[in-house]
Amino acid sequence: MNNRFNIDNLNWDEVKASIYNKTALDVEQALSKDRRDLEDFKALISPAAEPYLEQMAQLSQGLTQKRFGKTLQMYIPLYLSNECQNICTYCGFSLDVKIPRKTLSDEEILEEVKVIKGLGYDHVLIVTGEANKTVGVEYFKNAIRLIKPYFSHIAIEVQPLEVDDYKELIDEGLNTVLVYQETYREEDYKKHHPKGRKSNFQYRLETHDRLGEAGIHKMGLGVLIGLEDWRVDSFFCAAHLNYLERKFWQTKYTVSFPRLRPCAGGIELKSVMTDRQLLQLICAYRIFNEEVELSLSTRESENFRNNVISLGITSISADSKTDPGGYANPNANLEQFEIDDNRPTSEFVKVIKEKGYDPVFKDWDPVLQ
């Protein structure tokens, strides 16, 4: 199909100048509207909006409660493999990083499932490196068949696939696919992805269209915060979301906010984002789009996660392990990156309840119907 997200219509430098030229008046006008467009989103993520963070947080909280109630969907990642054929400058699984490689067997997958179910989770996110020969479509189909009896919602975060591949996985019980563009700045994308199939910027960009054509229930977007200017990348991501919602209106959407974390062979951050700025971005997304789910991982600190529970986030992980087999047989040498919030699920759930919110472990959608 030719009518896919045309990033060429958006010039990076022009978008950047537009964001940084937004004024307090632009922010106030965005906050006063009932419906916001992409120009309003620019204002809400701009430096001019930083003094309005308290007002943005209050508005974001109200809009989130109106749509999602005082609930928080709990999910947990299940890493099945750290084998990868890509070289990525920021990832501990990168082909050029000298770490042990491991792909879980059927028995090892079920060992992980046993531990995860013991923690109470019903929503699982399958994660692997991108190695088509080792962890390709057949491996994913088998893994979904193995774990489907134990979970009501299965998501994956793996390499981009073809439409027919996604259809096969959906038939097996796949509900959600997360694919992050990492950065929408094409001229620098290649610098961060010098080798492997992931180096194909356009193919990755069109993955969400293929997902929509396959009829996926939910798809996730995001950028890796720290690779490039976070404000500009976030605008491109919001524009991409806007396009997808118009084209595939029956699909649900979620946006994640992964900030670069330390890992083996990792690069230095190019664009540093403070906690206040991350909160600003979360609130900006909620004010811009009342329907989209907003997800936060254990990359963030205990303190930050505690304080944003009520301000716009609707989906959150806990007790995460980023090494294959990490729940039953942890091995730090296999990790993709270091997590920050290491609290057990029970402790984090207690915090959520103390905030007056209900942690939801079962499938999200029936709760909202």
Give the confidence band of 263 by pLDDT, cuts at 50, 70, 90.
Answer: very low
- Distance CA(358)–CA(362), nearest Å, equals 12
- Between helix 24-32 and helix 38-45 the angle, nearest 10°, is 120
| 367, pLDDT greater than 50 | no
What is the chain's Cα-based Rg? 19
Give the 3-state DSSP-derived string for the chain, with helices as H, strands as E and coil as C: CCCCCCHHHCCHHHHHHHHHCCCHHHHHHHHHCCCCCHHHHHHHHCHHHHHHHHHHHHHHHHHHHHHHCCEEEEEEEEEEECCCCCECCCCCCCCCCCCCCCECCHHHHHHHHHHHHHCCCCEEEEEECCCCCCCCHHHHHHHHHHHHHHCCEEEEECCCCCHHHHHHHHHHCCCEEECCCECCCHHHHHHHCCECHHHCHHHHHCHHHHHHHHCCCEEEECECECCCCHHHHHHHHHHHHHHHHHHCCCCEEEEECCECCCCCCCCCCCCCCCHHHHHHHHHHHHHHCCCCEEEECCCCCHHHHHHHCCCCCCEEECCCCCCCCCCCCCCHHHCCCCCCCCCCHHHHHHHHHHCCCEEECCCHHHHHC
Structure tokens at 347: 């402790």
Among 59-63, 175-179, 192-196, 277-281, where is mean pLDDT lowest? 192-196
| 1, pLDDT greater than 80 | no
Structure tokens at 3: 């009518």
- Distance CA(39)–CA(30), nearest Å, equals 9
- Distance CA(314)–CA(319), nearest Å, equals 17
Report how far apart the first and last C-alpha atoms of the chain are (Å, whole number). Answer: 33
- Distance CA(82)–CA(8), nearest Å, equals 34
Nearest to 4 by CA among 248, 220, 188: 248
Nearest to 342 by CA among 364, 360, 361, 320: 320
Give the confidence band of 329 by pLDDT, cuts at 50, 70, 90.
Answer: confident
C-beta of residue 15 within 8 angstroms of C-beta of residue 235: yes
- Average pLDDT score over residue span 302-322: 92
Give the confidence band of 11 by pLDDT, cuts at 50, 70, 90.
Answer: very high
Find where tokens 């893994």 sit: 143
- Distance CA(228)–CA(216), nearest Å, equals 29
Q: What is the mean pLDDT of the chain?
A: 90
Q: What is the pLDDT of residues 91-143, one digit of tens each?
A: 777 777 788 899 999 999 999 999 999 999 999 999 998 888 899 999 999 99
Structure tokens at 42: 């620019």
Residue 172 has a pLDDT of 97
C-beta of residue 156 within 8 angstroms of C-beta of residue 169: yes
What is the value of pTM for the model shown?
0.92
Residue 173 has a pLDDT of 97
- Average pLDDT score over residue span 178-205: 92
Domains of the chain (ranges; CATH) run 7-12+70-368 (3.20.20.70)
C-beta of residue 219 within 8 angstroms of C-beta of residue 208: yes
What share of the chain in percent tops pLDDT 90?
73
For residue 232, the Cα-to-chain-centroid distance in whole angstroms is 17
- Average pLDDT score over residue span 256-285: 78
